[in-house]
Structures are given as structure tokens and as C-alpha cells.
Amino acid sequence: MLDVEKNGHILELYIKTNETNSLGREFFRKFRDVLEQAENDRSIKSILLSGRNDKFFSNGFDPEIFVGKNLEEIKEVLREALGACGRVLFSPKPVVCAMNGHSMGVGAVIAIFSDYRILVEKKGRLGFPESLIGINFPSTAGTVLKDLVGMKTARDLLYSGRGVKADEAVQLGIVEESATPEEVIPKARKWCSQFQDMAMESVVGVKIALRDSQRLLADTLEKRDVELLAQAIASSNGQEGMKSIQERRRPVFT
């Protein structure tokens, strides 16, 4: 589900759920708990997040957690999922996301919530396909994406739902650099190494300064994000979108 390894001052986390590394409720619970523990461990200076899969970093939500569920059940799952993602965004420890394969949906949200991002070249895609499966996009994640790439690019990415390759992701500013499959983890560890000898007070203080405006917005929008996303998923079109992922076909919306 989530492999956890300590590598000196780096806490390395590897997603390992299924063939597409889709994310379910148990993953988000484990992920949240591990990140919470890391916050209180002074020996950890940075966090490296990647996947145990040669094709997918994460393909997003596991549709099983939403298909056939009522509105309240969906809200309950989303509170846990978005709460876990928020742990990445506001972690006092810098997070380096090494995307070893495709990063889609909530997998891509976790990536942009990280402090640094590396995307594997050629076979890796990063995208936000929510519009293609009939659901909306959380405002907090939308704000972070706009901060990274600007309003026009964020608009185009979200309305089209298209996945971008590593070279374009670098050009747009979504990721810091691309890497071959063999380079992804070594490059991520190099980004982590800059914090090894820093005073954690400085690291935490800088992270607060960079994220405080987003934290204030996230606190305001958290309930609304859950409400609107749950309504979209529970709708007939949202359910059709989730079923289309399960059945590996194009959705047919009404």
C-alpha cells in the first residue's frame, strides 16, 4: 500500500497499491498517519515520494470508493482524502515528488502539492482529467496550480483534461526537471540533500512563509471543496465517469 523507508535524513515513501497505483481510502489513512509522524520526527529533514510501479506514479482515485455510494458516504471519503493531500501541501518538511510514471487526477494533485517535482521522461504523463470523467476540480488545488503555471495555462489544462509529457511539464513550470527511469530517484535524493545540514527552524519558517496564503485559503475552502466535489461524483454523470474508469471505456454523459 505504502512502502516506508528511512534513508538518513530522508523519509522515502513509495506508493504500492495496484497495477495503476490508484488510491483508496486505506491508502489515504496510512499516508496521513505517516506524514503526521514525520512532522514530529526531528531526524527527518525531507520527504521523498514516489511509486513502486514502472508505468504509474498514481492514476488517481480508485473508482471503487465512489461507485454506488451515496452523497454522505462520498463526502466522508473525500474528507479523508483531501485531508491527507493537505498534509503534503502544508508539511513542515519539504516534499520531493519523483513521478516514476503517469500521474493523473489526485495523483497529480499530490504532485503539485509537493515542494519539488521530477517527472520521468518519454513514458510519463501528468494531467488533471476530471473534466473528462464528469467531475469538478477542488478550488484549493486549482489555486496551487494557478500559482505554478498561471491562470491561462491552468484553465487550458483543466478544461482539456490532457496529460503533458515531461518536456512540456518542465517548460510550463509544473515540474523542476525530467529524468530517465534510472535517474528519477537519484535526482530526487539530490533535491532532498540540500536540507541535510540546514537548521529545521529555517526550513519550517521558509515553508510557512511560502504556504501561509494558501493555508488561509484552504481553511476557508475546505468544506466547500468537499461539498462540490461530492455532489459532482454523486451525480449521474459523475457515477458514469467513475464506472467508465472501471470498465476502461469512454464515458457517455447525459
The CATH number covering residue 94 comes to 3.90.226.10
In the chain, % of residues over pLDDT 70: 100
Please give the average per-residue pLDDT across 77-90, as a whole number: 97
In the chain, % of residues over pLDDT 90: 98
145 in a domain, yes or no? yes
Other beta carbons within 10 angstroms of residue 243's beta carbon come to 17
Count of domains forming the chain:
1
35 in a domain, yes or no? yes
C-alpha cell at 140: 484549493
Tell me which long-range contacts 61-66 makes (C-beta under 8 A, separation of at least 24). Answer: 61/22, 61/23, 61/24, 61/105, 61/106, 62/17, 62/18, 62/22, 62/23, 62/24, 63/22, 63/242, 63/243, 63/245, 63/246, 64/24, 64/246, 65/24, 65/25, 66/233, 66/238, 66/239, 66/242
Name the residue range of residue 71's domain: 2-193
Please give the average per-residue pLDDT across 74-92, as a whole number: 97
What pLDDT digit, counting tens, does each position of 226-237 carry? 999 999 999 999
φ, ψ of residue 242 to 5 degrees: the values are -65, -40
Sign of CA dihedral 15, 18, 21, 22: negative
In the predicted model, is pLDDT for residue 7 greater than 90? yes
pTM score, whole prediction: 0.97
CA dist., res. 43 & res. 150, Å (int) = 36
Q: What spatial distance separates the first Cα and last Cα of the chain, rounded to whole Å?
A: 36
230 in a domain, yes or no? no
What pLDDT digit, counting tens, does each position of 40-78 carry? 999 999 999 999 988 999 999 999 999 999 999 999 999
What pLDDT digit, counting tens, does each position of 165-218 carry? 999 999 999 999 999 999 999 999 999 999 999 999 999 999 999 999 999 999
247 in a domain, yes or no? no
Mean pLDDT, the chain, integer: 97
Predicted confidence at residue 123, as pLDDT, reads 86
CA dist., res. 56 & res. 225, Å (int) = 26
159 in a domain, yes or no? yes
CB-CB contact of 56 with 102 (8 Å): yes
210 in a domain, yes or no? no
215 in a domain, yes or no? no
Predicted confidence at residue 54, as pLDDT, reads 85
In the predicted model, is pLDDT for residue 121 greater than 90? yes
Predicted confidence at residue 53, as pLDDT, reads 87
Please give the average per-residue pLDDT across 17-26, as a whole number: 97
243 in a domain, yes or no? no
Predicted confidence at residue 103, as pLDDT, reads 98
Per DSSP, helices labelled H in 9-70 are 25-39
